[in-house]
Each structure stands twice: as structure tokens, then as C-alpha cells.
Structure 1
């Protein structure tokens, strides 16, 4: 468990570094949500749909970077109910040398993966350490 937790923590730190690097280099512009891309997030159809499974809405955003070429992207964070409405103005972050690498400036878009992996890593490492200490003290 400790190894799994440490690996998960490492992945969480890598995702944190990617987000921090992105924020350091990113330019900010206004964008508009032009559509909601509704997707069912099933793992390749390997499980049967349940009544509580529902699609998530991923915002599709159009923005114009400094090069003047309008661009669209689908944000990586979806939700149900939708976090954004069509026509809503949002702040977009993008890399100037790679405008197709864009994200909505929002907590989920930037920090969801680091929090998931870091949280799982902390839980597994804590439980593994607790088990190791408890079994070590036994006579």
C-alpha cells in the first residue's frame, strides 16, 4: 500500500508541476462558451449503464489568441449539471507557442487531477504506514 500511495503521490506532484508550468507560461484572453458537449463517461462500454449514470457537459469554448486566428477547444472538465451555459463569457488560458493547448481558468480544469492523485496517494500511504506500524509493534 505504501508503494502504491507513493506512486500516486508522485503522479499527483507531476500533474501539479504541469499545471504550475502551464499557469506560468499562459496568456489570458476572454472566450465564449459556444456549445456543451454531452458525453457519457463509461469505461469503453465494459460496464452496463445504470439508472444513476448520467452524461456530463463539457464546455466548448471559442477564443481568439493574439495571432488573431479564432480557435475552439473542449475543456477537460465536465459536470452535470453543467458548470457553464452557452453564451457565457469565460477566461481562457493558453500557451502562446501552442494556442491549441487551452483551458478555462477554473479550479477543476487546473487542479482536479493533482488533487485526485495526491489525495489517493495520501490515503494509501497513510493506511499503509499505519498498518506497517501496527504490525511492527505486535509481539
Structure 2
């Protein structure tokens, strides 16, 4: 359990580092939600969606990077109910050298994965460490 926790914690830290690196290099641009892409299977593709799994709405955003042509991207963070509405104005973060790498400047888009993996990692590591300490004291 402690090993699983440590792996999840490291994964959470890696995702947090990716988000921090992205934020360090990112440019900002106004964007507009032009569609909602409803996905039945949002489990990473490794599992089949069950009939009772609700679909998740991923916003499709259009923005124009500095000195560039308009671009569209589908945000990786989906939710039900939708977090955004078609026509809603959002702030887009993108890498200047790769405008295709864009995200909505929002909590879910930037911090949800680090929080999930880091939280699970902390819980598993704490429980595993507690069990190990209690077992050691008894023997």
C-alpha cells in the first residue's frame, strides 16, 4: 500500500510540475467556447463506459494566438453538468512555440490531475505507513 501511495504521489508531483512548467511559458489570449463535445467514455479509453456512466462535456474553444491564425482545441477536462456554456468567454493559455498546446485557464484544466493523484498518494502512503508502524510495534 505504501508503494502504491508513493507511486501515486510521485505521479501527482509530475503532473503538478507539468502544470507549473506550462504556466511559466504560457501566453494568454481570449477565447470563446464554440461547442461542447460530449464523451461517453472518459475513463482514458482503457475501460468501456457503463450504461449508468453519465457523459462528460468537454468545451471546444476557439482563440487566436498572438500574430497567428484562429485555432480550436478541445479541453481535456470534461464535466457533467458542463462547466462552460457555448458562447462563454474564457481565458486561454497556450505555448507560444506550439499554439496547439492550449488549455482553458481554470482549476480543472491545470490542477485536477495533480490533486487527484497527489491526494490518493498521500492517503495510501499515510495508511500504509501507519499499518507498517503498528505491525512493527506489535512484533
TM-score where L is the length of structure 2? 0.93
The answer to whether structure 1 residue 69 and structure 2 residue 76 are counterparts is: no
User: After the TM superposition, which parts of structure 1 deviate over 6 Å for at least 4 consecutive aligned residues?
Assistant: none
**Aligned counterparts of 1:20 and 1:45: Cα–Cα separation in 2:** 28
Find the residue that maps to 1:131 and give its secondary structure.
helix
Q: Which runs of 5+ in 1 are unaligned?
A: none
Superposed counterparts of 1:73-84, under 5 Å:
73-84=73-84
- Check the 8 A contact 2:41/2:48 in 1, yes or no: no
CA 60–98 in structure 1, closer or farther in 2 if over 3 Å, else same: same
- Check the 8 A contact 2:40/2:49 in 1, yes or no: no
CA 94–125 in structure 1, closer or farther in 2 if over 3 Å, else same: same
- Check the 8 A contact 2:32/2:89 in 1, yes or no: yes
**Aligned counterparts of 2:116 and 2:35: Cα–Cα separation in 1:** 27
Query: Equivalent residue for 1:111?
Result: 111
**Aligned counterparts of 1:107 and 1:133: Cα–Cα separation in 2:** 36
Q: Which runs of 5+ in 2 are unaligned?
A: none
Find the residue that maps to 1:135 and give its secondary structure.
helix
Find the residue that maps to 2:37 and give its secondary structure.
strand
TM-score where L is the length of structure 1? 0.93
Find the residue that maps to 1:81 and give its secondary structure.
coil
Q: Output the aligned Cα RMSD.
A: 1.5
**Aligned counterparts of 1:12 and 1:46: Cα–Cα separation in 2:** 22
1:8 deviates by 1.0
User: How many aligned positions are there?
Assistant: 138
**Aligned counterparts of 1:46 and 1:91: Cα–Cα separation in 2:** 32
